[in-house]
Amino acid sequence: MAKRIASALDLPCIELDRLNWGADWRDLSKTDPDEFIQRVRDAISADAWVSDGNYAVVRDSIWRRATHLVWLDYSRAVVMYRVIKRSATRAFDKTELWVGNREDWRRWLRASHPIRWAWSTWQERRSRFEILLNGAQYSHLVVLRLRTPREAANVVDQLGA
């Protein structure tokens, strides 16, 4: 979605996972948050950009500078279908993600794996976003809350307008 939006609007796309993950799945947001925060600050210093991802440690920095927020607020079923499909495809194809990291079936049972993480955090993240986006701190954001893939299909047109 972010890449599509960035391409359509001729803007750079900032992939937060690319800035966060180091070799051997080193999670900078946990192991060196200051480095991750600095990488994100450098990336969002441009006048305009599209950001892909969401990490609590950099959320405020990004949201304060953003003008629009596209929230893919899909049902748990849709989220899980997509996460499982993406993980299975990456594991089967041995797709390199960031700095040599690849999906590995053996990691699927870890609590930090995207499948387990998506399942266990879905409701809490959704509730937290509602609270944050209804508060005054981010009232400047134009929020496109998309609840189905069908709604998301036209997001580029909505943003272009």
At 78-130, the pLDDT tens digits run 999 999 999 999 999 999 999 999 999 988 888 889 999 999 999 999 999 99
Residue 161: pLDDT band (50, 70, 90) is: low
The partner residues of 21 in beta bridges, in order of sequence, read: 27
- For 8-48, the pLDDT digits (tens) are 999 999 999 999 999 999 999 999 999 999 999 999 999 99
pLDDT over 70 at 147, yes or no: yes
Proportion of the chain in helix, strand, coil states, percent, rounded to 5: 60, 15, 25
The partner residues of 54 in beta bridges, in order of sequence, read: none
> What is the bridge-based pairing of β-strands 68-72 and 142-146?
parallel
pLDDT over 80 at 159, yes or no: no
pTM of the predicted protein model: 0.90
CA 113, distance to chain mean position in Å, is 15
2-160 architecture in CATH?
Answer: 3-Layer(aba) Sandwich (3.40)
Query: CB under 8 Å to 90, separation ≥6 — which residues?
Result: 97, 102, 103
Any idea where the domains of the chain sit in the sequence? 2-160
